[in-house]
Amino acid sequence: MSLLMLGCAGLSGLAPAADAAPSAGSRYHVILCGGPALRKWENFRIERDQHDRWWANFVRASTLRMVEIRRAYGKTANITWIVYRQGYAQRGREDGKPYTTWLTELAAKRNVSLIWVSDGTGAINAINRHPSGSIISFDFFGHSNKYCFLLDYSAEIMGASKAWIHQDDLARIRRGVFARNSQCQSWGCHTGESMSAYWKRATGQTMIGAKGKTNYEPISQGNMPSVSGSWVR
């Protein structure tokens, strides 16, 4: 069984074109959203080390970014929301809530194209399906460490991941899919310490990442996640 250890994220809200193919000639903003941990695992930790007391940290951060994009690029800006489905299905079963249904309805309300994925390969394929030169911004919200986007973390196995994009996997992203000087940022912990350099090498684009841990508490006040260290390129 493949798994990856040592994740990190901050502490502790019907898509009309869901999974539709992006159109040639358009410009796109891509948001990749990882899943939450399960409380049954996190409750074993001391309180200050627990993750995802609220299930929707990464969802709320995604919607805040959608607002920023629409303010900057207009109400009709094309947004592709790539979401790790299993995390929300599993947390929904634990909480007794239909989170995947809610996210589908949220995508429709926000007029964004929702693409559900089940692993890192699916997420990369969802990025690659966009036309050449069409992605003008990319954001990742989720657990991470310096080497990986952790789409899953502490959902199936405490303190481990079964779905990720490792920095070595970034070479599978189609380099030409990004527009020149696209805006890319990872809002997960530590990605500025290694993964950003691999992103630049693979895609030709600079990715802002955290040197240190990120904190999702500011989203409760309508602000984007903060970093305990610094944002680096």
Question: pLDDT tens-digit profile of 104-134?
Answer: 999 999 999 999 999 999 999 999 999 999 9
Residue 154 has a pLDDT of 78
Contact 210, 3 (CB under 8 A): no
Task: Scan for tokens 């990120």, then name that residue.
Answer: 214
Residues 157-163, mean pLDDT to the nearest whole number: 82
Residue 45 has a pLDDT of 64
The pLDDT-based confidence of 158 (bands split at 50, 70, 90) is: confident
Phi, psi (5° rounding) for residue 49?
A: -100, 5
Residue 42 has a pLDDT of 66
**In the beta sheet, which residues pair with residue 226?**
215
- In order of their start, the domains of the chain are 4-232 (3.40.50)
Contact 187, 137 (CB under 8 A): no
The helix (H) or strand (E) run that includes residue 18 is none
Contact 114, 102 (CB under 8 A): no
Question: pLDDT tens-digit profile of 46-88?
Answer: 677 667 689 999 999 999 999 999 999 999 999 999 999 999 9
Contact 192, 209 (CB under 8 A): yes
The pLDDT-based confidence of 41 (bands split at 50, 70, 90) is: low
Residue 6 has a pLDDT of 46
Residue 24 has a pLDDT of 61
**Is pLDDT larger for residue 37 or for residue 148?**
148
14 has a pLDDT exceeding 70: no
**In the beta sheet, which residues pair with residue 186?**
140
Residue 39 has a pLDDT of 81
Question: pLDDT tens-digit profile of 135-147?
Answer: 999 999 999 999 9
With a CB cutoff of 8 Å and minimum separation 6, the contacts of 76 are none
Residue 8 has a pLDDT of 59
Taking the C-alpha atoms of residue 87 and residue 115, their distance in angstroms, rounded to an integer, is 14
Residue 21 has a pLDDT of 67
Task: Scan for tokens 């966009």, then name that residue.
Answer: 130
The pLDDT-based confidence of 4 (bands split at 50, 70, 90) is: very low
Residue 13 has a pLDDT of 31
Contact 1, 155 (CB under 8 A): no
